[in-house]
Chains A and B, each alone.
Chain A
Amino acid sequence: MAAQAINAKEQDSAAPFDHISIGIKVVSYAILIVGAFFMILPFLWMASTACKPNAELAVSPIRFFPENPSCLEVAGQLYEQSPNFNRYLLNSFIVTVARTVGQLITCSLAAYGFARYKFPGRSALFAISLGLLIVPFQAILIPEFILIKSLGLRNTFGAIIIPGVFSAFALFLLRQAFMQIPIELEEAAEIDGANPLQILWRITLPLSIPAIAAFAVITIQAAWNDFLFPLVVANTTDTRVVTIGIALLQGQRDTPYNLIMMGSLIATLPMLALFVMLQRYFIEGVAQSGLRR
């Protein structure tokens, strides 16, 4: 009884803190709305330009919305100008899926090994793996390029995918998640005769779905949006990813901006859709680790 009374009292004293005065509310909303406007404006400008016919691009004063919306015509012109644009989208898709699945395999195996097994050199190898996180990728671009070239991988999917299936970040994230699972569950399965791979597949991974989702969306996003590395190691029609496709459009001086905006819109929509569907995991992934590159 006494404890309950104290609880009730505590809740009461917390109440004034939760109360937000109308004035603060109004000011907060005003600032938030102005902020949101600036964050969204570039997307609207992208979409609006993507649907403007050529004649409406160079009019003064600026038109916020196209007078004659011609999204499909512009898309048609985009594919005339860049006939392989769909191929680039497909390439991005292949690279993204392969890198994400590959990382999930190599990194969940390694995370499980580091989390649950004792072997000589364990802490040294883990420290080295994590130590690589502080090396900016740009700093090893040249040797990476030479390595890819000497392995005969240049201008193949392997050039972009293979270095992308190993990750210190995913290792760190998944190991954290695996270590939070009660070890008794795994021990029970071991007594039942399950081997480590079976335990990982049937117990550890299913119990780590939120962490896997967080890691997966961040990897997907990074792979889809990657530019510098693919630009250096795989820049032929067959392997070119969509970010390079957009850069090519932008690089040709005569490409009108409605086509470039249409290309950017098409390349951006999948990530925006993925984010809106899975935003909880995106935000978890970011929040859990300021460690991302």
Chain B
Amino acid sequence: MSTLLNIFGRTPRARRKAFWGLALIAPNTIGLLVFFGIPVLVAFGLSFFEWNGIRAPEFTGLDNFTRIFRDPLFGRALANTLTLALLVVPLNMALALGAAVLLNQRLPLRNLFRTIYFLPVVTSTVAASVVWIWIFQPRLGLIGIVPGLGTLQWLTRPELVLIPIAAVTIWQRVGFDMILFLAGLQNVPRALHEAAVIDGANSRQRFFNITLPMLSPTTFLILTLNFISVFQIFDQVYIMTQRTTPGGVSGSATTLTFLLYQTGFTRSEFGYASAIALALFVIVLSITVIQLRLQRRWVFYESEAG
């Protein structure tokens, strides 16, 4: 008995503290395991079964995974998600960095601009999406003030529908990434800029030779977060296509997460939906791992200097 207790500490006081520690962490840790940890394992297990939620699950081995590779809808969803990444990530990051660099100057009213740019972040994606539907509404929407754009069927034409979805995503994301870039910019040592000024460097040279390299850890983090968030896009697609064809005409707006939702909750194919979920998880994990690898090549860390 006493050896068993020794795991918790050698003195009665250490043991008492160990018990307190375990008691303190218990509620959140158990909750996390039950509601997040176990579901991860269940998702993994379910992906080997066919199950509609009513009849008994039927073990089908790797069928769900081979189906992923044959399913044209999955291919479509993956292509759509990658297209969205292409539309959203570069533009969003450029805008966020631009805003952050401008607002990192000592300009009067800069807090007001920061507030304005952040407002869409605190808005729900649902509310944002309905506003942007109305902006992209043919003939009646705000987009009509740009000649030629007002008559396009933005939300029903398969080759156009990802543009409004990308627009609302960027609008809601720029302010968030701007704040992360601002935090990164504030970590660039002033002394470096001061030294460069003394050496006669102009502001463009300072931006490309000091700011950007020193900012690269932040840029890398934001890039990863951007990709991950694009792979989770759901609300925009659900809201912006529900009146016409959910998921877009012939799946033109279906993202991976939307496909997961449709497979699970519209078609009640829990097993196949779990396989899609696993694929989503593997993709998100790979992005993180790949970028961690690449990061070593192009990210400059201050500690490596000198």
Contacts and interface: CB of A to CB of B under 8 A. Distances in A.
A62 B142 contact: yes
A250 B20 contact: no
B118 A275 contact: yes
Interface residues of A, number: 99
A24 B202 CA distance: 12
Contacts of B197: 16-17
- Interface hub of B31, B221, B281, B284 (most chain A Cβ within 10 A): B31
A232 B107 CA distance: 46
A39 B222 contact: no
B180 A286 contact: yes
A145 interface: yes
B281 A135 contact: yes
Given A46-B131, A117-B24, 11 more contacts: A29-B107, A36-B113, A36-B117, A57-B140, A119-B8, A134-B284, A143-B40, A147-B34, A225-B123, A282-B122, A287-B183
Given A145-B264, A167-B28, A196-B24, A120 B107 contact: no
Interface stretch (A1-9, A73-81, A124-132, A205-213): A124-132
Interface of A: 13-14, 16-18, 20, 24-25, 28-29, 31-32, 35-36, 38-43, 45-46, 49, 57-58, 60-62, 105-107, 109-110, 112-114, 116-120, 122, 125, 128-129, 132, 134-147, 162-163, 165-168, 171, 196, 221, 224-225, 227-228, 231-232, 243, 246-247, 250-251, 253, 257, 260-261, 264, 267-268, 271-272, 274-276, 279, 282-283, 286-287, 290, 293
B15 to A, nearest CB: 10
A251 B19 CA distance: 53
Contacts of B27: 105-106, 109-110, 166
Contacts, number: 298
A240 to B, nearest CB: 13
Interface in B172-202: 174-176, 179-180, 182-183, 190, 193-194, 197-198
A65 to B, nearest CB: 13
A228 B131 contact: no
20 contacts: A13-B198, A32-B113, A36-B117, A39-B120, A62-B144, A62-B145, A110-B27, A117-B18, A118-B14, A136-B284, A138-B277, A138-B280, A140-B40, A140-B277, A143-B38, A145-B264, A166-B32, A224-B124, A246-B126, A247-B238
Given A125-B29, A282-B118, A119 B131 contact: no
B76 interface: no
A247 B242 contact: yes
A57 B139 CA distance: 11
What does DSSP make chain A's interface, helix, strand, loop or mixed?
A: helix
B84 to A, nearest CB: 15
B119 A112 contact: no
A174 to B, nearest CB: 10
Contacts of B222: 290
A267 B116 contact: no
> What 9 A-B pairs are tightest by C-beta distance, nearest first?
A117-B21, A113-B24, A166-B31, A225-B124, A110-B28, A143-B39, A143-B42, A140-B39, A264-B127
